[in-house]
Structure 1
Amino acid sequence: MTVSGARAGTMDKRNDLGYRLSALARVAELGPGRVDPKLLAEAGQLLLRAGDRLKLSGDHTVVALAGGTGSGKSSLFNRISGLELSPIGVRRPTTARTHACVWGLDGAGPLLDWLQIQWRHRFARASALDRGESQLHGLILLDLPDHDSIRAITDHEADRLIKMADLIVWVLDPQKYADAATHTRYVRELAGHEAVTVFALNQADRLAPEELAECVVDLSDLLKSEGVARPRIVPTSATTGRGVNSLKSVLAESVAARRGAVQRLEADLDRLMVKLTKVMPPAEVMSVPPAVDPARQEGLTDALCDAVGVSAVGEAMENVYAARSAAWVGWPYGRWAARLRPDPVNSLRLGSFRDEIRAVTAASISAQPAEVENAVQALADGLTPGMPDAWRDGVRDAARANLGRLPQVLTTEVAEIAPRLDRVPTWWRLLKVWQFFLVLLFVAGVAWAGSILFYGVLRPAESAPELLSDVSVLPWVALMIASVLGLGLLSAIASRNFVVLGAARERESLEREMRRRIASVGKEQVVNPVEQSLRHYNDFFTALTSARR
């Protein structure tokens, strides 16, 4: 592969890592309340560290030599650098401060500052190219404090730099290569970091060839049992120089690839994703519709209408409408006769019509808060099967967010559209005029008939007008009176039928408007918060899936 091709491949990887880190940032943004806070804190630290490291020199690879006291770590550091840079001794800790040797100073300063390496402990191999070590150009080699130090300050520094280094070389000695401090605190935690971890079995000169081979096999088995699938073990001797060139070759390979920083961040991200993906649901339910489907919204509206008592309000309005119509469109003679009986409106105990309707509406809501809660709960339960518990609870909490004031909002909405019971349709007025016109005709007919009987039969006076005394007209007058009565009766019957139809239409109109308003309240108070929670759910798992790639 050409140099330009290698750089293009590196840039592709950087872009891929950037995409995954962006997805992780979205996970961290949407995770609070749904994901273990410790995992979110770890994600935040990784994002911060990745942002800092990727802004610094990509031409340098930070390699940390880590190990316990007596492992020969500082001696190996000096052997690789070719200089006596790190102090060697038997006091604990042998290495109190981190020492750094840099091959190629250009651009290394900000990176060393980020690593917090003190100036007096920085050393440069300016002549490295003259000594045939050009393959190490870009290497920053760190000699960390002993991780099993009895000094808390140095132990903390070792922990900090182990997390920040691009490549870690664990320096183990034949006597303590299974040391619990190393394996429990570090090796197990870094399982999956094979690409950025090397194990140097130092002091190999103290072992016979057979013993060394046995130690390598035993160490390899131990590391595999702790999750290191393909451990890279390099036997070395800082005293004789055995294996040092092999270790240099491993370091040179990492430096030449210029991917140490990216590989370490990818390994850290992969390890974090293993933990985060424990919150992933089964694949078949990982994605849910981001919107509540119309059928569920209709179901919520139906349940809320039942809780409000829409049918009861409509029925009451229909009864009131029919009762009030009797004063306008009923047969006048029937209304006059009804005055001798108890008022049918009063018998319905309707009192003030408007107040009664509002009271019915208010009582329907306030008396059935449990039904409102059940309606909301049913919607949430229908949307959350298969979701992880934390996200299921989140959807339910979103659905119930406004539950405390939902009944009052429904009350207000329905009360605002309580029908105007004092409204009189125009046709009622016209029909009343028509009925009274027929009453006048009836009265006139009766008076006419009486006049004919009086003047035509009794003949109290000879000068009565012929129209009021002609007995031959009497049958026709009687027919007119009967026709007027019949027409009035038919009008009353027809008007009652029209009233029934009108009451049904009014009820339908009222219930339709109440349903529309209740649906609007349900959408605003319940559905919208639920859909927002569903969008967060989908965004979270989309981001989590993207971060796993």
Structure 2
Amino acid sequence: MTISAEPRHGLGTRLAALARVVELGQGRVDPELLDEATQLLLRAGNRLKLSPDHTVVALAGGTGSGKSSLFNSVSGLELSPTGVRRPTTARTHACVWGLEGAAPLLDWLQIQWRHRFARASALDKGESQLHGLILLDLPDHDSIRALTDTEADRLITAADLIVWVLDPQKYADAATHRRYVTELAGHDAVTVFVLNQADRLTPEEQAICVADLEELLKREGVANPTVVATSATTGKGIDGLKAVLAESVSARRAGYLRLEADLDKLMLRVAKDMPELLHVEPIVDGARRAGLADALCDAVGAAAVGEAIENVYGVRSIDWVGWPYARWAAMFRPDPLKSLRLGDVKDDIRTLVGGSVRAQPAEVDNAVQALSDGLSQGMPEVWQDGVRDAARSRSGQLPKVLTDELGEIAPPLDRVPAWWWLAKIWQYLLVLLFLAGLGVTGAIVAYGVFEAGPPPTDLLGDVGVLPWVLLMMASVLGVGLLSAVASRNFIVLAAGSERDRLERDMRRRVSGVAQELVVEPVERELQRYNDYHEALNTAKY
């Protein structure tokens, strides 16, 4: 087996990115995957804090594979019990080459004190290349004892390097391959396969078995399997296995490689349904904001309210700047609307504007949905749902908030522009002048034409003044009529301006409400997606 002298760089960065993936993926990623990622982060954090000078190598295998005998052969001591009783190894045994600094790591592995052994004399035996090795003899993974089975699974996950001990009769055992080997596909650099009990085979049979095992492993995803044939009984192949272990121990990189392999495998599953290069714009563009504002204005009937305001403005102006004679004459004319039983249009308009402006929930929901659908195109379905949920997260408040906001800006009906007062005063002054002219005309006719008596003044008895008085009265009527027409034109302009002002104010408030209750939650979700996507790509590579 060849282990690169240079580790794969950026493990710390990738683990930090994985933590970000876990944080941002809540509610968007399979909870089981997030749990696995959390467990990996915890395991990586613990392992990286512990002794980097020790490499944990686990001997794993099924019942009868000779795993404990191999453990004793490598350690050179009778440390793990062997025999015909199955399972032989009930608890994990550990042999340490170089005990200094290993205790916290053994505590984390939960190896009992009575099952820890040290090779203090290893250097004297010429095994300095194994200094830093922690060799574990795991319980049989197919043990009938549930406790030992669980312990084996835990330590197989925690070990830096796994040595699978197989025997010639059961090296293709489906349980081992299906449960463990296929799950460790991609872990070539930190997995070794030992075909033990090779003394039972002829050289030809051994070659066939090794070739068959390598082919089987390649089919299961182990691209470059490392297979070592050994015999714990005769010692054949033990030195070869020690050389493989020594290479791993001396490189001091097996722990990093194991974590990277676990991370690689996990990220393939997490990123399964994520596009490689899809980055979304996290800011809602002006066109979409305007479209949302338009749709919400339609939902609250902004145009209808503006038209009603314009009509109310015009109706109310008649009482102030209209020609008084026309108003008085209208009082004696029958109202065709009343004859049609349509009610008082003026009152209807006043009621429409004076009451609450109400948003239609269905139209509001449609506007929000259109925005979220347009922004989330191309994103994975679960993230599209996230954008929709974000858009709707506060949309339930929209109708009421819009109603309250727009109800505040409806102009009060008792508000009268100052120039209306001036126009009304001017019209009534003209009425008074006309009435004064009528009085003077009557007096001249009485005193000057019919000589009803001496006139109070010479002017009232002078018939020659009468044409001028009539001309003045006609002029007053003309000026009054022209004033009414001019005022009406100003009213039309002012009513349109009032409508535009109201609609602008309504749109401004609608845009503000949409920004707070819809756009901002959507932008946060889009930014969350981008952050997740970036973290995912970092954790993958």
TM-score higher than 0.5? yes
> Once structures 1 and 2 are overlaid, which stretch shifts more, 463-472 or 507-516?
463-472
Q: Deviations over 1:178-210 (max 9, x none)?
A: 011210110000000001001111112222222
**Counterpart in 1 of 2:443?**
451
1:107 and 2:83 aligned: no
**Counterpart in 1 of 2:384?**
392
The equivalences for 1:209-288 within 5 A come to: 209-281=203-275, 283=277, 286-288=278-280
Which one of the candidate residues 289, 292, 295 is aligned to 1:300?
A: 292
Looking at structure 2, the residues matched to 245 and 387 of structure 1 have their Cα atoms a distance apart, in angstroms, of: 55
* Aligned-CA RMSD value: 1.8
1:402 and 2:398 aligned: no
Contact 1:323 1:345 in 2 (8 A): no
**Counterpart in 2 of 1:359?**
355
Q: Deviations over 1:298-328 (max 9, x none)?
A: 1111111111111111111111111111110
Looking at structure 1, the residues matched to 293 and 456 of structure 2 have their Cα atoms a distance apart, in angstroms, of: 76
CA separation of 1:463 and 1:544: change in aligned 2, threshold 3 A: closer
Q: Deviations over 1:259-315 (max 9, x none)?
A: 1111111110001001001131352xx211112112111111111111111111111
> Once structures 1 and 2 are overlaid, which stretch shifts more, 399-408 or 41-50?
399-408
CA separation of 1:507 and 1:175: change in aligned 2, threshold 3 A: same
Which one of the candidate residues 304, 310, 313 is aligned to 2:302?
A: 310
Q: Deviations over 1:410-458 (max 9, x none)?
A: 2111112221111110000001111111112212222223333333322
Which one of the candidate residues 6, 9, 21 is aligned to 1:27?
A: 21
Contact 2:81 2:89 in 1 (8 A): yes
Contact 1:323 1:344 in 2 (8 A): no
1:168 and 2:154 aligned: no
1:120 and 2:118 aligned: no
**Counterpart in 1 of 2:333?**
341
Identity of aligned residues (%): 69
Contact 1:24 1:543 in 2 (8 A): yes
Contact 2:354 2:413 in 1 (8 A): no
* Cα offset, 1:174, TM superposition: 1.1
Which one of the candidate residues 21, 46, 61 is aligned to 1:67?
A: 61
* Cα offset, 1:349, TM superposition: 3.3
Contact 1:168 1:197 in 2 (8 A): yes
In structure 2, list runs of 5 or more residues that go unmatched: none
Q: Deviations over 1:113-150 (max 9, x none)?
A: 00011111111011111111111110000111111111
Aligned residues: 533
Q: Deviations over 1:348-383 (max 9, x none)?
A: 434386643243623xx2xx3221111111111111
1:51 and 2:45 aligned: yes
Contact 2:284 2:523 in 1 (8 A): yes
Which one of the candidate residues 281, 284, 288 is aligned to 1:289?
A: 281
Structure 2 residue identity aligned to 1:66: A
In structure 1, list runs of 5 or more residues that go unmatched: 1-5
CA separation of 1:168 and 1:224: change in aligned 2, threshold 3 A: same
* Cα offset, 1:468, TM superposition: 2.0
Which one of the candidate residues 435, 447, 457 is aligned to 2:427?
A: 435
Partner SS, residue 101 of structure 1: strand
TM normalised by structure 1 equals 0.94
1:424 and 2:420 aligned: no
Q: Deviations over 1:225-247 (max 9, x none)?
A: 00111111111121222221111
* Cα offset, 1:469, TM superposition: 2.6
Which one of the candidate residues 445, 465, 470 is aligned to 2:462?
A: 470
**Counterpart in 2 of 1:497?**
489
**Counterpart in 2 of 1:3?**
none
1:151 and 2:145 aligned: yes
**Counterpart in 1 of 2:536?**
544
**Counterpart in 2 of 1:129?**
123
TM normalised by structure 2 equals 0.95
Structure 1 residue identity aligned to 2:226: R
Contact 2:315 2:346 in 1 (8 A): no
Structure 2 residue identity aligned to 1:108: A
Which one of the candidate residues 320, 340, 347 is aligned to 2:312?
A: 320
Partner SS, residue 100 of structure 1: strand
CA separation of 1:474 and 1:173: change in aligned 2, threshold 3 A: same
CA separation of 1:490 and 1:344: change in aligned 2, threshold 3 A: farther
Q: Deviations over 1:82-126 (max 9, x none)?
A: 111111111110111111110101100000000011111111011
Looking at structure 2, the residues matched to 76 and 179 of structure 1 have their Cα atoms a distance apart, in angstroms, of: 19
